Amino acid sequence: MPVAVEDVLAGNRLALARLLSQIENDTAEGRQILNELFPHSGQAALIGVTGAPGTGKSSLVNQIAYHYRHPADGRQPKRVAVVAVDPSSPFSGGAVLGDRIRMHSLSGDPDVFIRSMASRGSLGGLARATAGLVQAFDAAGFEIILIETVGAGQAEVEIARLAHTTLVVEAPGLGDDVQAIKAGILEIADILVVNKADRPGVEQTERALRGMLQLAHPGKRQYHHGRLISAPEPEEKPLNEPEWVPPIQRTVATEGNGVSELLALIDQHRDYLKQTGELARREAARLTAEVDLLVEAGLVDRWRRGLANGWYQEVLARVMNREISPRQAAAKLTASKREEG
């Protein structure tokens, strides 16, 4: 059954659910509807939640969503979407997606929409279609979109490119302070959360994180997206702009302790992003990367279709025979004219 754009925009949950599948399966229909929805997107606050397995990401996402639905200070409840990514099996391609287990307190609320996603072979903590799902939720009027990553470990930096505010969740008793100065996951944190803060060792964990922040205060964020096309350098940040130093918040997600304070920090970070123009810069970097990726895929596709029959296999065979190097082979294959020899 085809999905109607109007139904998605009008808040029809079945239409939205079906659209999300179309996007995940990268169908022509899904791509078409996303094109039509794109002008409606760009309103939502995108909040990423990452961290090692077992730090309590799902429980925390549950609490954050719950607090946005039931604000303590009498503010308007927000419509919340959750995209929770879990790994696909590299062998069978199947997956067991278990993030919903921790999100029971959100059930029965029509203004919450939780979608589990398998990573489908993608590395970096998100699935290839995660950005598309987020765009669909955004266009469908969800004001807060929580994105929970796979949680595999130190290389999950994709989330920083997608989210406006990235929470890195740590828990007591998981590694020493050398973990904290390694590149990658801690560098992307806008807010550090020490969850399970009722457990022993919480002081050491917090001290290690604080030490890391002083040791390696993150400089200006440059996106190394390593794409085919080099994006124009973003404008230099004026020197008098305040720097955001990632705050550390303790939480006990199973009890909800510290979550109101965490929400206040998320709001503060969003205000900071808006006031300094960083929000626009991040959006620009993200959309540039997305366009680059699509251009790259399009070019490769066109190149593949333009290849003479058998030419690719022929060149490849010469590489196998150690006649030419992979680099020479690539030069031959991408040359505008087919040269013999």
Partner 1 sequence: MSQEKIRVIVAKPGLDGHDRGAKVVARALRDAGMEVIYTGLRQTPEMIAEAALQEDVDAVGLSVLSGAHMALVPRILELLKANGQDKVGVFIGGIIPDEDIPRLAEMGVAGVYGPGTRTDDIVQDIQKFAGQKS
Is position 113 an interface residue for partner 1 (rule: CB under 8 A)?
Answer: yes
Is position 10 an interface residue for partner 1 (rule: CB under 8 A)?
Answer: no
Measured at the CA of 164, the angle between CA 80 and CA 197, to 5 degrees, comes to 75
**Applying CB under 8 A, which of residues 39, 90, 92, 220 lies at the interface with partner 1?**
92
> What does the alpha-carbon distance between residue 97 and residue 85 come to, in Å, rounded to a whole number?
8
CA–chain centroid gap for 218, Å, is 20
Binding span for partner 1 by CB under 8 A among 17-25, 218-226, 268-276, 333-341: 17-25
Q: Residue 114 CB, nearest distance to partner 1 (Å)?
A: 6
**Applying CB under 8 A, which of residues 74, 90, 94, 238 lies at the interface with partner 1?**
94
Pick the closer one to partner 1 by CB: 21 or 32.
21
Q: Tell me the sheet residues that pair with 84.
A: 116, 148
CA–chain centroid gap for 135, Å, is 12
> What does the alpha-carbon distance between residue 85 and residue 330 come to, in Å, rounded to a whole number?
35
What's the DSSP call for residue 15? Answer: H
Binding span for partner 1 by CB under 8 A among 37-45, 108-116, 144-152, 278-286: 108-116
Which tokens in the block code for residue 50? 């990452």
> What does the alpha-carbon distance between residue 34 and residue 135 come to, in Å, rounded to a whole number?
8
Yes or no: say if 135 and 37 are a contact pair by the CB < 8 Å rule.
yes
Is position 104 an interface residue for partner 1 (rule: CB under 8 A)?
Answer: yes
Q: Residue 76 CB, nearest distance to partner 1 (Å)?
A: 23
Is position 90 an interface residue for partner 1 (rule: CB under 8 A)?
Answer: no
Binding span for partner 1 by CB under 8 A among 49-57, 83-91, 248-256, 305-313: 83-91
Residue 251 burial (CB count, 10 A): 27
**Applying CB under 8 A, which of residues 18, 250, 282, 286 lies at the interface with partner 1?**
18
State the amino acid at position 196 in one-letter form.
K
Q: How many residues does the chain have?
A: 341
Is position 150 an interface residue for partner 1 (rule: CB under 8 A)?
Answer: no
Q: Residue 315 CB, nearest distance to partner 1 (Å)?
A: 24
**Applying CB under 8 A, which of residues 39, 76, 107, 305 lies at the interface with partner 1?**
107
Is position 108 an interface residue for partner 1 (rule: CB under 8 A)?
Answer: yes
CA–chain centroid gap for 212, Å, is 23
> What does the alpha-carbon distance between residue 47 and residue 262 come to, in Å, rounded to a whole number?
12
> What does the alpha-carbon distance between residue 318 and residue 326 come to, in Å, rounded to a whole number?
9
**Applying CB under 8 A, which of residues 40, 69, 78, 100 lies at the interface with partner 1?**
100
Pick the closer one to partner 1 by CB: 112 or 252.
112
Binding span for partner 1 by CB under 8 A among 57-65, 90-98, 198-206, 258-266: 90-98
Yes or no: say if 89 and 95 are a contact pair by the CB < 8 Å rule.
yes
* Chain residues that interact with partner 1, rule: CB under 8 A: 13-14, 17-18, 20-21, 25-27, 88-89, 91-98, 100-101, 104, 107-108, 113-116, 118, 120
